[in-house]
Amino acid sequence: MTLGIVAIAAVVLVVAATALAPRVGVAAPLLLVVLGFVASLTPFVGAVTVPPEWILSGILPPLLYSAAVSAPVMEVRRDFRIISLFSVVLVVVSAVVVGIVATVLIPGLPLGVGIALGAVISPTDAVATSIVRKAGVPPRLVTILDGESMLNDASALVLLRSAVAAVGVGISLWQVGGQFIWAVVAAVAIGFGVGKLNLLVRSKITDTNAGVALSLVVPFVAYIPAERLGASGLVAAVAAGVVTGYGAPHKIGARDRITERTVWRTIELLLESSVFLLIGLELPALAKDLTGSGGSIAAALGIGAIAATIVVAIRAAFVAGSVWALARRNRRQPAVREKLAEMSDQLDHGVVPELGNPERNARRVLKRRPPNTDEKTQTQLTRWRRAVNGRIADLDYLAAEQFGWRDGVILVWAGMRGAVTVAAAQTLPENTPERSLVVLVATLVAVGTLLLQGSTLSWVAARLGLTDRDSAGDEAQWISLQNELKDAAMTRLEAYPNKIADTIRERLTQRTQPEDDPYGSAVQRVKMEQFRILRLDLISAERDELLLLRESGTYPTAMLDAALTQLDAEQIGIELRH
């Protein structure tokens, strides 16, 4: 078949699977794996071998970038300790253990190749976590799994390169550590610079279509130079996405952001789905390659099952230790929160620390000073108040989203492998000992975890009671957030002492639900242009307040995103009617 027909058939399969999956109760990615495998057995489809660069360099950078743009930065920061543990230490331990076991199961296999196998099957996959998001598990679990899958690729790929290099030439632990540090630090620096440059350029572009078109190349602008410098291109794409996503409300207009979000969701659907479809299509070709080199499919299945069991068992041990450590830390939090609450009360009464950075010294005892209203003192009070309130918000979040053994089970069972595992395995040099066996084992681990864990994740979460949590607290938070935004709008209205301001002020006072239109009744009473200008100014005030609240962390990121989307939609509606 020609490339055009293949592309059309692939898109049709993706759309069909997406539409059919909810009706048959199977996640669309899993259905696509099965459809790809079945299609590969038909006489119309020949042997499919996908160059690994297509996935590593063409599909994963935009997928990881898109995920990073929408990542809840505040929640990731709060759980960065456990995310780092899973992204680095868990990958290294899993790779070494799998490597040692592989040398026992496959006689004559060099340890370096065994560790390479462990490196490619150790990281969870960002594409596979799309199944997790649709399973209805608690948001904190999704945040940890997303953060882990976005960062563990660097650990796995650096370890893979080092293990392969060690097969022919010795390489020290210090060299591996140095390569990893360079891969991450250089990638973050490049991604940060690309993200800032993207925001600067996008702020100057007034055409929505041109801005969205530019966003499509940003992940590659970060990926390519990072890879050329020996750093992790995937981490660079993630860093660029985080910087872009966090700064976009400040630099990019509402219409551009909403349009860009819609475009990227379509791209995500096509790229994610194509990965799962390709995994299914490649299975027969990989099996044929193994048997052609004298290998055994039964042996590959057995080794794959053992390797998958090992990585799941090690993950379970890490998760159990993390849940215990988090519970231990949570027991100390009430006392810490009480001290912070006292500090907040002192700050409200004009108590200012003598010296130091509030972020570093938030637990230091404050020295009482006479109330002072000069500008410098007020700035100090504001800084300290923001730092203390942010720390209190962190503790409240961790208390409200505490982990238990049921959450731990989900963290273990949701650790599926996917596209990175398949693509990374295929990057092994052609002269690698037992290459065909290693590649097929890695692919079987990826497919097996996707089918077994992915198909049962929703059922496990439902059985554990983690898919239907009470949302009353969320509703109360939402009303509180709307009241804070309303107060910001009221403050801005003080600069408009006229009839239209009085009318809108009255309407704002009556607003109790977020879906109420606080301005509609005034439309018939004032000139449209004056009203339009004032509404846009008030929306700007509410958005500024919302972004300040985002920095303090007092509300969940998902809730702030929903409120920002409402403000954006209202602004676009006004602009379109102009």
Q: Are 324 and 404 in contact (CB under 8 A)?
A: no
Q: What is the pLDDT of residue 350?
A: 67
Other beta carbons within 10 angstroms of residue 208's beta carbon come to: 16
Q: Are 436 and 293 in contact (CB under 8 A)?
A: yes
Interacting residues of 296 by C-beta distance below 8 A, sequence separation 6+: 290
Q: Are 150 and 68 in contact (CB under 8 A)?
A: yes
Q: Return the amino acid letter for 309.
A: T
Q: Which residues of 106-139 are buried (b: 16+ CB within 10 A; e: fewer)?
A: beebbebbbbbbbbbbbbbbbbbbbbbeebebbe
User: Which pLDDT tens digits describe the chain residue by residue (578 residues)?
Assistant: 566 777 788 888 888 888 888 787 777 888 888 888 888 888 777 667 777 778 888 888 998 899 889 888 888 888 888 999 998 899 999 999 999 999 999 888 888 889 999 999 998 876 667 777 777 778 888 888 888 888 887 788 888 888 877 776 555 667 767 777 888 899 999 999 999 999 999 999 989 999 999 999 999 999 999 999 988 888 899 999 999 999 999 899 888 999 999 999 999 888 888 888 888 888 888 888 788 777 788 888 999 999 999 999 999 999 999 888 887 777 777 777 777 777 777 776 666 655 444 444 444 444 444 444 466 666 667 777 777 777 777 777 777 677 788 889 999 998 888 777 887 888 888 788 888 888 889 988 988 888 888 888 888 888 888 765 544 457 778 888 888 888 888 888 777 766 667 666 666 665 544 444 444 454 444 456 677 788 888 889 999 989 888 887 778 888 888 889 889 988 888 877 66
CA–CA separation, 67 vs 126, rounded Å? 8
CA–CA separation, 438 vs 236, rounded Å? 28
**What letter would DSSP give residue 181?**
H
Q: Return the amino acid letter for 39.
A: A
Q: What is the pLDDT of residue 230?
A: 86
* Pair of tokens at residue 13: 């399969």
Hey, is 565 helix, strand or coil?
A: helix
SS3 content of the chain, % helix, strand, coil (to 5): 75, 0, 25
Q: What is the pLDDT of residue 527?
A: 55
Among candidate residues 437, 425, 417, the one with its CA nearest the CA of residue 164: 425
CA–CA separation, 401 vs 417, rounded Å? 26
CA distances from 440 to 42, 155, 298, 323 (A): 21, 22, 11, 34
Q: What is the pLDDT of residue 171?
A: 58
For the chain, give every residue range classified as CATH 1.20.1530.20: 3-324+401-463
pLDDT tens-digit map of 191-221: 999 999 999 999 999 899 999 999 999 999 9
Q: What is the pLDDT of residue 424?
A: 84
pLDDT tens-digit map of 23-76: 877 778 888 888 888 888 887 776 677 777 788 888 889 988 998 898 888 888
CA–CA separation, 95 vs 89, rounded Å? 10
Sign of CA pseudo-dihedral 224, 62, 456, 448 = negative
* Pair of tokens at residue 249: 């409300």
Q: What is the pLDDT of residue 368?
A: 43
| 421: exposed, middle or buried (Cβ count in 10 Å: 0-12, 13-18, 19+) | buried
The residue whose two tokens read 């009203």 is: 531
Interacting residues of 120 by C-beta distance below 8 A, sequence separation 6+: 156, 160, 420, 421, 424, 425, 442
Give the domain 3-324+401-463 fold.
Na+/H+ antiporter like fold (1.20.1530)
Q: Are 520 and 357 in contact (CB under 8 A)?
A: no
Q: What is the pLDDT of residue 497?
A: 67
Q: What is the pLDDT of residue 244?
A: 95
Interacting residues of 504 by C-beta distance below 8 A, sequence separation 6+: 493, 518, 519, 522, 534, 535, 538
| 373: exposed, middle or buried (Cβ count in 10 Å: 0-12, 13-18, 19+) | exposed
Among candidate residues 415, 3, 65, 25, the one with its CA nearest the CA of residue 271: 65
pLDDT tens-digit map of 144-169: 888 888 888 778 888 888 887 777 65
CA–CA separation, 402 vs 409, rounded Å? 14
CA–CA separation, 193 vs 256, rounded Å? 21
CA–CA separation, 430 vs 426, rounded Å? 9
Between vectors from CA 139 to CA 91 and to CA 395, what angle results, nearest 5°? 90
Counted residue by residue, the chain has a size of 578
Between vectors from CA 83 to CA 121 and to CA 122, what angle results, nearest 5°? 5
CA distances from 498 to 2, 489, 495, 526, 535 (A): 68, 15, 9, 11, 14
Q: What is the pLDDT of residue 363?
A: 46
Q: What is the pLDDT of residue 407?
A: 87
Q: What is the pLDDT of residue 376?
A: 60
* Pair of tokens at residue 501: 């301001």
- CA 518 to chain centroid, in Å, comes to 34
Q: What is the pLDDT of residue 242?
A: 92
CA–CA separation, 511 vs 116, rounded Å? 60
Give me the DSSP letters along 541-564: HHHHHHHHHHHHT-S-HHHHHHHH
| 237: exposed, middle or buried (Cβ count in 10 Å: 0-12, 13-18, 19+) | buried
